[in-house]
Amino acid sequence: MSDDSSFETDGRRDYPRVLAALVCLLAVVVAATAVPALAPQGTTTPAESLVPQPPDVGDGGGAGSGAGGLGALNPGSQTGVGGDLGGQSAMRSQSADTHFVVQSTSASYWRTGAYDVYEGDGWARSGEPTPTDGDLGIADGRGEEVHYRVRLNRSATALPTVWRPSEVSRDDVLLTDAGAVRAEAALPGGTTYDGVSYSPERDPDALRTAGTDYPEGIRERYTQLPAETDGRLKPFTDQLTADADNPYETARTIENWLEGNKEYSLGVDEPGGDDVAGQFVFDMEAGYCEYYATSMATMLRTQDVPARYVVGYSTGERTAEDTYTVRGMNAHAWVEVYFPDRGWVRFDPTPGQERLEQERESYQEQRSGDYEATETGSPGEEFSTNASDANGTPGAAGDGDGEIDESGDGSDDATDGSDRERSVGEYTVRLNRSAAPGAPVTVSVTRNGLPVGGAEVTFNGERVGVTDEDGQVVGEVPYAETLRVDVDESADPQLVDVDAAQSTDLLYAPRQGTADADDSTFDVPTNATLSVDGDAVTGGEVTVTATVDGVPVRRAALLVDGERVGRTDAGGQAAVALPDETGNVTVRVERDPVAGERTLRLAALNVSVTPTAPLALPGTGVVVEATLGGDPVPGATVTVDGERVGGTAVDGTATARLPLAGAADVAVERHGQRAEQTVGGLFVNLAAPVLAALAVLGGAALLARRSGIDPATIDRTLRRLPDMLATALVALGAVADRAVGRLWARARLTAAHLRSLAAGRRSPGELLAALRDWLTARRAEVRSAAAGATAAATGDAGPEGSHATVRDAWAEFLESVSLRRPRIRTPAAIGNHAVERDDLPADAVWTLVDAFRAVEYGDRNPDERVAEVREAVAEIRRTVQRREGDGEGGTGSTAGDAEGVDESPAGADAGVAD
């Protein structure tokens, strides 16, 4: 035993060293309890990061989690805005370390916390979390159903979910009032859980029609502002949003102003005042997501629009089909805005293109290859790391046509000319927006540039009202193909403002009769647009919203396949119950002359069953896949011969085992449909190996008889034949199952390598090096197996062979770790240091850790781990060699260990990046 790990000197115990160790231990305990009490608010200490913390620690938004004012995986009950952690802003972290990986049926933002109380310099969460068994009860089943599986790569007290979560596959979680999911105790890295959410409607036209009928509790709680709020903020926002007709346009106007007038930058100083929102709007030129989200939420509240501050992670990088790798630099803050009957909808005021470009630069500084990400921020907005987005517009897409609508009234600025203005005799009539049916429009009547007051205005012969002193009157556009505006100034003549007049001829306005109708006609659009909220599946229900130029089509007839089933409400909405049969369904809305329709395709459910062995045999496994219109169907019930055996996962697949029978009926059920496939001929498939075995045994018996072997011995062998045959079949099935599984895993890995090559993340040279390492490992495996067989035959097996392979791989791995004395650390601590400090590939590191622990401490057979151990150590070797070739001088600095810096996962950067 070395001096580093022994308290014995020349065979005697060294009691002074024991006493010194106890004194040091006592000092650590005292520091862990005393230092946090003396530390400044918003900071953390090394001792705190070593001790597991409950979900709500202190007032610093996750103090002790390494999260500072906002820990994306460890958010607390309070969070500052613009704060820092030990001199380094938690929000500015651009770490490329993976925090978690998500398999999801839909790309989204991954939500971990929400705050309702604005305190001027930060946010707080009111209410206490409620224990739940995983059935969250938030979602009402409306919206897009999203299934996802999350694997945490580091410790977390919050579970990333998609808004609105319905259930998670854990029974030890808490639910906050704002719908964030938390763990009762910190979850370790490696934790995996499944979730189901229902994403709310995000169609801009539908949100424009939502109205302002907020529940009283929502209005009171989410429009609150402290007395210290900057007094300039409300008048400024009033003026900014003066032309907004609804809360959606108010939100888009504020968002567009912030994106267009503030620069995105991580290099800003903390303002340090009592109102971050006011300081950002009026005094700061640049900021990052904390500032943008806080300012937008506060500005919305000045307009009595409910809004809250939300934290978590943006989408991250799509690294495989339906798989997203989410890193520290993806940690983010945004805003949720409440819409009646639709709930909370995400808005992201931070300039998305600039943020993603910053992430790409940080990624390329720390990793090889490119960083490609595409995100959907606010409704109708998309941005990516490509030079232009899917619509061909640099930066962000607007309302689906490649442009951002910044007018605030939802109308097309292209119509802001002659289409809104007509000459009616000596008058000029102008509308403030397009003449969409049912839209409230402001009519301005002027003559020679001067407003005409007291004039009667009619729409299609129906009286609207009399213009005021500004020459304006408000009316509603009728449901007609054209709008004729007439002006009648038959009342007393109106004096014109002398100062505004151009000549004395205008000081007295003469009477005017009704203008010529032919000159005063506006075209009215009558083609309605239908948006659908919800999954169009058999037996389901969707919400249809009908609009014309952003204006709801109210009290219109709703028809499904030509049959009238209801009417749209004041918001242009109606619920549609879909039939149980598959096929196309036509939904139509009519209010003469306005009409519009949309065809929904109700796809049929399909199932495929693939044996994991070369043949489908009794008792072997199968992979069941459910699809709907070619898309995977998660959450489908799987039955074998009528007995439920499980449900499909995010990718629409599940595993099952065939019964000991000649055939089996495998079925999936979802959305009121049932798809079934019969797997037959199981015993027939079994006949070939059975007959071959019988032939071999018969030949052996015949040979034995001719060789003079005792018939009694043959008789005993034949009596044992059924048992021997059954054992052989089971073993054969297991071997075949395992072989197919390994081949499938290798095929998927090869496909991933090829995708990386196509995307430019790996070079051809790296792939060739990986192939050479794999072939070398295969040859070594064959030689090792041969040597093991020889040793077994000679009775000299010993502890070598596969055990030695795992131990040798572990020894080589330790040489790549920057710890000074790794052999006195646990395998988990070494693995955490290798991933967090030395930036070695996480999957390879944990493969080695798991294999070493299983072999050394778990008394497991190492044979099944040899192949993956060799691949893991080869990947680590390539990483080290690549860095040495780039001049980095190894796997990482040992300064952290030498200086006594915390090496545990909790001590690593757990801050939120933007």
Q: Which two structure tokens, joined as six digits, stand for 758?
A: 């196509």
Instruction: Name residue, tokens 């370390």.
Output: 97
Count, residues in the chain: 914
Q: Is the pLDDT of residue 398 over 60?
A: no
Among 401, 404, 468, 455, smallest CA distance to 427 is for: 455
Q: What is the pLDDT of residue 889?
A: 41
Q: What is the pLDDT of residue 853?
A: 78
The DSSP symbol for 88 reads: B
Q: What is the pLDDT of residue 778?
A: 64
Q: Which two structure tokens, joined as six digits, stand for 911?
A: 């801050």
Strand (E) or helix (H) holding 360? helix 352-366
Band of residue 196 on the pLDDT scale cut at 50, 70, 90: very high
Phi and psi at residue 591, in whole multiples of 5°?
-150, 95
3-state DSSP call for residue 733?
Answer: helix
Is residue 93 a contact partner of residue 913, using CB atoms and an 8 Å limit? yes
Band of residue 786 on the pLDDT scale cut at 50, 70, 90: low
What are the strands of the beta sheet with 173-175, ordered from one edge?
130-132, 173-175, 181-187, 156-158
Note the pLDDT tens digit of each residue in 154-171: 999 999 999 999 999 999
Strand (E) or helix (H) holding 325? strand 323-327
Q: Which two structure tokens, joined as six digits, stand for 896?
A: 């952290």
Q: What is the pLDDT of residue 55?
A: 36
Average pLDDT of the chain?
79
User: In degrees, to the nearest 5, what angle opens at C-alpha 247 toward C-alphas 245 and 249?
Assistant: 60
831 vs 840: CA distance, rounded Å: 9
Instruction: Name residue, tokens 């090096």.
Output: 769
Residue 208 CB contacts under 8 Å (≥ 6 apart), including other chains? 245, 246, 248, 249, 410, 547, 550, 551, 552
The CA-to-CA distance between both ends of the chain, in Å, stands at: 49
Sign for the pseudo-dihedral over CA of 47, 51, 99, 131: negative
418 vs 329: CA distance, rounded Å: 49
Is residue 60 a contact partner of residue 86, using CB atoms and an 8 Å limit? no
In our burial notation (b when 16+ CB lie closer than 10 A, e otherwise), range 804-841 reads ebbbebbeebeebbbbeebeebebbbbbbbbbbbbbbe
Lowest mean pLDDT among 371-375, 398-402, 868-872: 398-402
Note the pLDDT tens digit of each residue in 44-67: 334 333 334 333 333 333 333 333
Average pLDDT over residues 265-287: 88
Q: What is the pLDDT of residue 771?
A: 77
Residue 749 CB contacts under 8 Å (≥ 6 apart), including other chains? none
Average pLDDT over residues 73-100: 73
Among 263, 304, 303, 267, smallest CA distance to 280 is for: 263
Is residue 65 a contact partner of residue 52, using CB atoms and an 8 Å limit? no
Residue 102 CB contacts under 8 Å (≥ 6 apart), including other chains? 110, 148, 149, 150, 151, 160, 316, 323, 324, 326
Q: Is the pLDDT of residue 561 over 80?
A: yes
Q: Is the pLDDT of residue 409 over 60?
A: no
Among 280, 332, 338, 278, smallest CA distance to 307 is for: 338
246 vs 530: CA distance, rounded Å: 19
Average pLDDT over residues 556-560: 96
Q: Is the pLDDT of residue 529 over 60?
A: yes
Over pLDDT 70: what percentage of the chain?
74
**663 CB burial (10 A radius; 0-12, 13-18, 19+):** middle
105 vs 122: CA distance, rounded Å: 34
8 vs 17: CA distance, rounded Å: 9
Among 767, 650, 559, smallest CA distance to 103 is for: 650
Q: What is the pLDDT of residue 837?
A: 85
3-state DSSP call for residue 895?
Answer: helix
Average pLDDT over residues 891-898: 39
Average pLDDT over residues 755-776: 73
Q: Is the pLDDT of residue 402 over 60?
A: no
Sign for the pseudo-dihedral over CA of 506, 512, 518, 523: positive
Most confident of 289-293, 389-393, 415-419, 498-502: 289-293
Lowest mean pLDDT among 67-71, 78-82, 803-807: 67-71
Binning the chain into helix, strand and coil, the percentages to the nearest 5 are 30, 25, 40
Q: What is the pLDDT of residue 32?
A: 45
56 vs 74: CA distance, rounded Å: 9
Band of residue 768 on the pLDDT scale cut at 50, 70, 90: confident
Note the pLDDT tens digit of each residue in 215-255: 999 999 999 999 989 999 999 999 999 989 899 999 999 99
**220 CB burial (10 A radius; 0-12, 13-18, 19+):** exposed
Q: Is the pLDDT of residue 405 over 70?
A: no
Check residues 896 and 841 and name the one with the higher pLDDT: 841
Q: SS3 sequence, 95-129? A: CCCEEEEEEECCCCCEEEEEECEECCCEEECCCCC
3-state DSSP call for residue 238?
Answer: helix
Q: Is the pLDDT of residue 188 over 60?
A: yes
735 vs 764: CA distance, rounded Å: 34
Note the pLDDT tens digit of each residue in 655-683: 999 999 999 999 999 999 999 999 999 88
Q: How far are the Cα atoms of 214, 307, 348, 382 from residue 402, in angstroms, in the given order?
A: 32, 27, 18, 10
Band of residue 87 on the pLDDT scale cut at 50, 70, 90: very low
Q: What is the pLDDT of residue 83?
A: 54
Q: How far are the Cα atoms of 34, 86, 469, 821, 898 from residue 894, in angstroms, in the given order?
A: 29, 21, 79, 11, 6
128 vs 349: CA distance, rounded Å: 29
Most confident of 35-44, 342-351, 421-430, 701-710: 342-351
> Which amino acid is located at 882 in the chain?
R
Average pLDDT over residues 34-41: 38
Most confident of 358-372, 654-668, 730-744, 753-767: 654-668
Q: Is the pLDDT of residue 825 over 70?
A: yes
Q: Is the pLDDT of residue 848 over 80?
A: yes
Q: What is the pLDDT of residue 823?
A: 64
Q: Is the pLDDT of residue 415 over 60?
A: no
476 vs 222: CA distance, rounded Å: 32
Check residues 140 and 401 and name the one with the higher pLDDT: 140
Average pLDDT over residues 98-102: 95
774 vs 633: CA distance, rounded Å: 35
Over pLDDT 90: what percentage of the chain?
46
> Which amino acid is located at 743 in the chain?
L
Band of residue 731 on the pLDDT scale cut at 50, 70, 90: low
Band of residue 862 on the pLDDT scale cut at 50, 70, 90: low
Band of residue 16 on the pLDDT scale cut at 50, 70, 90: low
Q: What is the pLDDT of residue 386?
A: 67
Note the pLDDT tens digit of each residue in 462-506: 999 999 999 999 999 999 999 999 998 775 444 444 344 444 343
Band of residue 903 on the pLDDT scale cut at 50, 70, 90: very low
Lowest mean pLDDT among 290-304, 522-536, 766-780: 766-780
Lowest mean pLDDT among 126-140, 287-301, 613-627, 809-823: 809-823
Q: What is the pLDDT of residue 317?
A: 94
